[in-house]
Amino acid sequence: MQKGGSRSEHRLLSVVLLIATFVTLAPVMRLFVEGLTDRTRPGLGLAADVLSQPATLDALRNSLVTAGLGTVISVVLGSAFAFIVALTDLRAKAALVFCLMIPMMIPPQITALSWIQLMGPSSVLLKTLGIAPPLGSAQPLYSPGGIVLLLGIQHMSIVFLTLRAGLRAIPQEVVEAARISGARGLRTWWQVVMPLTLPSLAAGSAITFVTALGNFGIPAMLGIPAGYSTLPTLVYQKLAGMGTGVLAEVSVLAMLIGTVAIAGILAQRFFQTRQRVHLVGSTSRPLAIPLGRARLPVEIALWAVVAAILVLPMFGLVATSLVPAYGVPLRLDTITLQSWAEVLFSQPVTRRAFANSLCLALGVALVLMAMCLPLAWLMSRNPTRLTRLFDSLLDLPYALPGVVLAIAMILLLIDLPLTDATLYGTVWIIFLAYLARFFEVMFRPVQASLKQLDPAMAEAAQSVGAGLSRRMRDVVLPLTAPAAAAGAILVFLTAFNELTVSALLWSSGTETLGVVIFNLEDSGETAMASALAMTIVLVVMVLMGLIQLFSRRFPKGVVPWQT
């Protein structure tokens, strides 16, 4: 005899939930304590000091401007694609969607690097084609405009995904009813589809703004050379320049970013809940309004945009990686794989970074899988107020800008309680930061697949005598394995490329790939940076292709770009 419905489940749930809470939420809480402290005493004096500095205000304004305008570009591009893909009889939709997802998966510093290769006086591609601007002219991307453009391209997939999910939730009958009543073409779109999707569009814009606000790679690569700081790059420059002595000061900056970001997240949640109302009817068949004769021109236009934002920059990257020195035009007699060989096989730093990123990404993916599987299952079986609270706070470490999480991690781990030890400067601080940041990336696919799992599956095992661990091993694990695998690949993918968090947490010996690309470019080794970036792009595309290949075997909602 035992107490309660299933004590073993409750006990395990409490343990895993405690660990998960510590891993994901403790750093964020620690940061807010620090921000509200003035020289170890509670107070807002320091916060007021930092916030009134002109550099802070400049960076805040720059952040808001670039993130805001970048979001506008994302919304225009992303929603155009979403409406056309979700509503019309376009051909090869799957391929188009896959290509649209690539910008989201390519790390921002590589996006920036590849676009830099496409423009400016020393662009290898332009020189080869003989259309490079004269030497001495400015790189047009080293400007607020360049940051805005690239932020817009980088995050258009977010708008695309949220809006497409919203569009798919519209029952076909709603549109058919409008057409049978005589509404045609754009009128249906404007008067029926548009009002129904406004909430998802607003939600997508809000979260895009938050992501753009936290983006570090693009403003770092484009803004720092132009002396244009946003909040994340300001934090980076302060911390890199003056070390942990300015920790209290940068905490205030991190809190400032965090506050703006949370406002955005709240806006997103508000709109997301608005989306769920009063849509009844079958959504089994997707909408496919015939485009008629306009179909081919529309298809050409869409693929041209994809080529411009995806293929061209990649050409730039490849071209740069194949010349012996930056600035030499690419000809048959100058083509060389020297940079590739150097960066992949000779440079100790890059080899170390490969090993670090690989181990971190693998380790994080495995640990998260081990934590998320039982947690997601137990949370779905024993929902309490506590688990629901955890569920709603879970996305904070991922949604909050990476800079915020990095600072929070430093604060939490720089002095371990009861010891003199510190994790700052070791690889473990990056590992723990990744655990917090990518928890959601692993948890949500598993959760989505468990939602579709018949609870009777586990109960059937229970009724024939299987205890908790056997039920998990023999029934829950095999049935959620595909989702867990997809989640693990996604975690691996994002962790492998991560820059923002590791840029603030690395030290000599614990460089990650993201950091190395950034440093190579920073020190003028553009050819090598391009070769390394291209390698990473290839890894990303192979892994994404792998997920795509098996996507039919995953339950609905597991693969993020197949909502």
Give the separation between CA 517 and CA 503, rounded to whole angstroms.
11
Cβ of residue 455: shortest distance to other proteins, in angstroms? 9
* Residue 459 binds other proteins, judged by CB under 8 A: yes
Helices (H), 342-426: 348-381, 385-393, 396-399, 402-413
Nearer to other proteins by Cβ, of 261 and 458: the residue is: 458
Binding segment toward other proteins, per CB under 8 A, in 320-328, 340-348, 474-482, 543-551: 474-482
- Residue 531: burial class (beta carbons within 10 Å; 0-12, 13-18, 19+): buried
Residue partners of 336: CB distance under 8 A and separation at least 6: 322, 323, 324
Beta carbon of residue 370, minimum distance to other proteins (angstroms, whole number): 20
* Residues of span 1-20 touching other proteins by CB under 8 A: 1-8
Question: Of 333 and 454, which has the nearer Cβ to other proteins?
Answer: 454
Instruction: Say how far apart CA 9 and CA 275 lie, in whole Å.
Output: 34
Give the integer Cα–Cα distance in Å for 454 and 464. Answer: 17
Residues in contact with other proteins, counted by CB under 8 A, come to a total of 25
By CB under 8 A, is residue 474 in contact with other proteins? yes
**For 189, which DSSP code?**
I
Q: How far is the CB of 14 from other proteins (least distance, A)?
A: 17
* Token couple for 373: 């599987």
Q: Is 385 in the site for other proteins (CB under 8 A)?
A: no
**What single-letter amino acid sits at 169?**
A
Residue 4 or residue 297: which is nearer to other proteins going by CB? 4
Q: Which helix (H) or strand (E) holds 41?
A: strand 41-42
Q: Which stretch binds other proteins (CB under 8 A): 261-269, 422-430, 452-460, 512-520?
A: 452-460
CB of 354 to other proteins, least distance (A): 36
What SS3 string covers 277-338?
CCCCCCCCCCCCECCHHHHHHHHHHHHHHHHHHHHHHHHHHHHHHCCCCCCCCCCCCCCCCH
Q: Which of 195, 478, 508, 552 binds other proteins (CB under 8 A)?
A: 478
Q: Of the ranges 83-91, 298-306, 469-477, 485-493, which one interacts with other proteins (CB under 8 A)?
A: 469-477
Phi, psi values for residue 334, rounded to 5°: -100, -10
Task: Supply 133's token pair.
Answer: 């601007």
Stretch that binds other proteins, among 71-79, 383-391, 461-469, 544-552 (CB under 8 A): 461-469
Instruction: For CA atoms 223, 224, 229, 232, give the dihedral sign.
Output: positive
Minimum gap (Å) between residue 6 Cβ and other proteins:
6
Q: Which is nearer to other proteins, 176 or 474 (CB)?
A: 474
Residues 102 and 477: their CA atoms lie apart, in Å, by 30
Query: At closest approach, how far in Å is the CB of 502 from other proteins?
Result: 38
Concatenating the DSSP letter of every residue in 515-538 gives: HHHHHHHHTT-HHHHHHHHHHHHH
Taking CB under 8 A as the binding criterion, the range among 132-140, 181-189, 391-399, 454-462 that sits at the site for other proteins is 454-462
Give the shortest CB-480-to-other proteins separation in angstroms: 11
Nearest-approach distance from CB 485 to other proteins, in angstroms: 14
**Which uninterrupted H or E stretch holds 37?**
strand 37-38
* H/E segment holding residue 45: helix 45-51
Instruction: Name the residue nearer to other proteins (CB basis): 437 or 471.
Output: 471
Question: Residue 311 corresponds to which tokens in the numbers above?
Answer: 């293929």
- Return the C-alpha torsion angle 160, 161, 166, 168, nearest 10: 100
Q: Which stretch binds other proteins (CB under 8 A): 134-142, 337-345, 411-419, 465-473?
A: 465-473
| Contacts to other proteins from residues 185-204, by CB under 8 A | none
Considering beta carbons, is residue 341 or 457 the nearer one to other proteins?
A: 457
In angstroms, the CA 28 to CA 273 distance is 25
Which residue's CB is nearer to other proteins, number 147 or number 475? 475
Is 176 a binding residue for other proteins by CB under 8 A? The answer is: no
List the one residue from 466, 539, 543, 546 that touches other proteins (CB under 8 A): 466
Q: For residue 443, give the nearest of 397, 408, 501 by alpha carbon.
A: 397
Q: Amino acid letter at 181?
A: S
Q: Is 464 in the site for other proteins (CB under 8 A)?
A: yes
What residues contact 497, with CB distance under 8 A and at least 6 apart? 105, 106, 107, 110, 357, 513, 514, 536, 540
Residue 415 engages other proteins in binding (rule: CB under 8 A): no
Report how far residue 144's alpha carbon sits from residue 563's, in angstroms, rounded to the nearest whole number.
34
Rounded CA gap, 188 and 144, in Å? 38
Nearer to other proteins among residue 369 and residue 406 (C-beta): 369
Task: Judge whether 446 and 20 are in contact, CB under 8 Å.
Answer: no
Q: How far apart are CA 92 and CA 94, in angstroms?
A: 6
Q: Is 465 in the site for other proteins (CB under 8 A)?
A: yes
Shortest spacing between CB 479 and other proteins, in angstroms: 6
Q: Which one of residues 462, 519, 551, 563 is an interface residue with other proteins (CB under 8 A)?
A: 462
Shortest distance in whole angstroms from residue 462 CB to other proteins: 4
Q: Could you tell me which residues come within 8 angstroms of residue 45 by beta carbon, excluding any fewer than 6 positions away?
A: 38, 39
Name residue 37's beta-bridge partners. 42
Span from 146-154, 214-222, 467-475, 536-544 in contact with other proteins (CB under 8 A): 467-475
| 383 lies in the binding site for other proteins (CB under 8 A) | no
CB of 367 to other proteins, least distance (A): 25
Site for other proteins contains 454 (CB under 8 A): yes
Q: What are the start-end ranges of the E strands in 118-242?
A: none
Residues in the chain: 563
For other proteins, which stretch binds (CB under 8 A), given 17-25, 144-152, 319-327, 466-474?
466-474
**Minimum distance of other proteins from residue 481's CB (angstroms):** 9
Shortest Å, Cβ 277 to other proteins: 23
Binding site for other proteins (CB under 8 A): 1-8, 454, 456-457, 459-467, 470, 474-475, 478-479
